[in-house]
Amino acid sequence: MSKVVVLDYGSSNLHSVAKALETVAGNDHSITVSNNPATILKADKVVFPGQGAIGQCMAHLNEQGLDQVIRECVLNKPFFGICLGLQSLMAHSDEDGGVKGLGILPGNVIRFHDKQKDENGDSYKIPAMGWNRVKQTQSHPLWAGIEEDCWFYFVHSYYVKPTLESDIVGTTEYICRYTAAAARDNLFATQFHPEKSQHAGLALLKNFLNWQI
């Protein structure tokens, strides 16, 4: 049985993520929520969920020594970041006056432009909240069985802009085209919330649990 740890840094939607993972885990995977560095490092797979502001997130990670734990995990085991868990992986975020991220993926986190209007002349709402289609820009094991342009659930005011095109495996459009999913080696991370995305989201999480690297 593989051990999957949902990283608890003190402010997150971790319980809904853990519940979604338990739904698809069956008897093959144990799901644990933990902020203990030793427990996280011993896990076979790690999930880094997130919501809220990045300044507080990075402060909590740094205070608990979890920033280095994440860097170590990304090097040698399947790792899944969700929403703020994706944004925190970038080198820098414009949120909270500018915050240094984990620097695992080169790039920046930027805010949607205010007062942008759609084709009907209506202003786009920020945060972006609701269902949107995701275009799979590269093949990946975690996309297995998930249809192209499938719907996923988003809640965010900022989005990532990776430096390397090769790190982008999914895009979506709201105000602009932006990265919905990023991946490199054993790392996969999404701007959307798979735990809130019904069948497609559960399929993605199941693919992660079964992912062999």
* Active site members: 83, 193, 195
Residue 92 contacts residue 204 (beta carbons within 8 Å): no
| Amino acid found at 67 | D
Instruction: Give the separation between CA 61 and CA 67, rounded to whole angstroms.
Output: 5
Instruction: Give the separation between CA 209 and CA 213, rounded to whole angstroms.
Output: 11
- DSSP secondary structure string for all residues of 146-191: --TTEEEEEEESEEEEES-GGGEEEEEEESEEEEEEEEETTEEEES
Backbone torsion region of residue 94, taken as left when φ is above 0, otherwise alpha when ψ lies between -120 and 50, otherwise beta: alpha
Nearest CA to 31 out of 72, 1, 71, 9 is that of 1
